[in-house]
Amino acid sequence: MTAREQDFESMNDTREAIEILSALISTPSFSREEKGTHDLLAGILEKKGIPFTSAGNNLYALNKSYDEHLPSLLLNSHHDTVKPNSGYSIDPFNPVIEDGKLFGLGSNDAGGALVSLLLTFCHFYDKPDLPVNLILGLSAEEEISGANGVELLLKKMPEVHAGIVGEPTSGDVAITEKGLLVLDCKVYGKAGHAARNEGENAIYKAMKDIEWFRMYQFPKESKSLGPVHMNVTIVNAGHQHNVVPELCEYTVDVRTTDAYTLEETIAIIKDHVSADVQPRSTRLRPSSIEQNHPLFRAVESLGFKTYGSPTLSDQALMPFPTIKLGPGDSARSHSADEFIFIDQLEKGIIDYQNLIESYFNIIAHETLG
């Protein structure tokens, strides 16, 4: 393809990206209510002659020359959104282009990444003799880490060996991502009459735990994610002013890293506090990719800036090596009057295509070698 042909294709891709993203913005898709955007995306794939499979409000498609004997690379982003906050000064469902920006709910998180990955998949869809399969996975319920989101999708699709997760990263590549533990903690005391100073005050016992959470520093730190962070976010105790409380319940938000497994993190916490500690879930695990992995080497070969991401995505539910990359800015996610720059869309498509080409070349070279 000549440079002029490439420029023409890039212009067409950007135009189509704006068209699809505008349609997505116009279609409300709150988490668990994504049927409208599911049908919209299904219609786009149908129009392009690309077979797909639905799983709830998720859908996936395989490249035309899919070969079950080859490894597969997942191209994933989500089409659900949060609800618009009260600070909006414009209609969140009316896509408007102004000053090089496309405004609308979900434009930045993660519509820009989703349409860029969709068009990237279409670019490679019917190319023969690919050294790696491509799987397009468009997921629901990402914003709430729902069980009927990417987890359901992964159960339905063929085996995946690596993945690119589309999120707004300003065009940088997250090679690690923090996980999440939510801990429900109960400290037991003994009820008594406050005037007679009877009983054992569960609040006082819990205060020692809470101070530990505030001050404790885990010995190991992740190179890219830094330390594990813990915050006590909810405390409940007592029901009457003159009764010493026998129970104090508190909740802890723990942002985990690849320095510890979730099980190791929980064990350390249990060793240091008096509370009965119960994790709500161990699903949302920290993510990382080895530096010798072909996908990491493809990132490195193209000179992408890499970092460790503090924000959670569908990466946390993927049991295979992943990176996170996409157009848009994470700081604009969930903000009022959300937008994405048009030139970010154009660059997002180019970045994805170049990264996949580089990944293909590395895999092909290793296979021949």
Q: Say if residue 111's pLDDT is above 70.
A: yes
Per-residue pLDDT at 228 exceeds 90: yes
Strands 162-166 and 322-325: parallel
Quick: pLDDT tens for 229-255: 999 999 999 999 999 999 999 999 999
CATH of domain 3-177+286-368: 3.40.630.10
Q: Which CATH number fits domain 179-279: 3.50.30.30, 3.30.70.360, 3.30.1300.10, 3.30.70.100?
A: 3.30.70.360
> pLDDT-based confidence at 369, cuts 50/70/90?
low
Closest by Cα among 321, 354, 340 to 164: 321
- Average pLDDT estimate for 177-205: 94
Write down the domain spans for the chain: 3-177+286-368, 179-279
**Is residue 8's pLDDT more than 80?**
no
Whether the pLDDT of residue 199 is over 60: the answer is yes
255 to 70, 87, 214, 233: CA distances (angstroms)? 35, 28, 14, 13
pLDDT tens column, 258-302: 999 999 999 999 999 999 999 999 999 999 999 999 999 999 999
Q: Which of 246, 345, 358, 364 is nearest to 22 (CA)?
A: 345
Res 195: pLDDT: 85
Pairing of strands 101-103, 192-193: unpaired
pLDDT at 359: 98
In angstroms, rounded to a whole number, what is the distance separating the alpha carbons of residues 89 and 222? 40
Per-residue model confidence as pLDDT tens digits over 32-87: 999 999 999 999 999 999 999 999 999 999 999 999 999 999 999 999 999 999 99
Nearest alpha-carbon partner for 178 in 292, 259, 277: 259
What the block records as the tokens of 224 is 């890219």
Q: Which of 124, 99, 153 is nearest to 340 (CA)?
A: 99
What is the C-alpha separation between 133 and 71, in angstroms, rounded?
6
Token readout for 318 is: 């993927």
For the beta carbon of residue 319, count every other beta carbon within 10 angstroms.
9
The confidence band for 4, taking pLDDT boundaries of 50, 70 and 90, is very low
Matching fold, domains 3-177+286-368 and 179-279: no
Residue 10 banded pLDDT, cuts 50, 70, 90: low
pLDDT above 70 as % of the chain: 96
What tokens were used for 112?
């820009």
Residue type, 357: E
Amino acid (one-letter) located at 17 = A
Give the mean pLDDT of 105-131. 97
pLDDT at 366: 82
Contact in structure between 297 and 362 (CB atoms under 8 Å): yes
8 A C-beta contact, residue 188 and residue 249: no
191: its two tokens: 């009820």
- Coil, strand, or helix at residue 194? helix
Say yes or no to pLDDT of 6 above 70: no
> Average per-residue pLDDT in the chain?
94
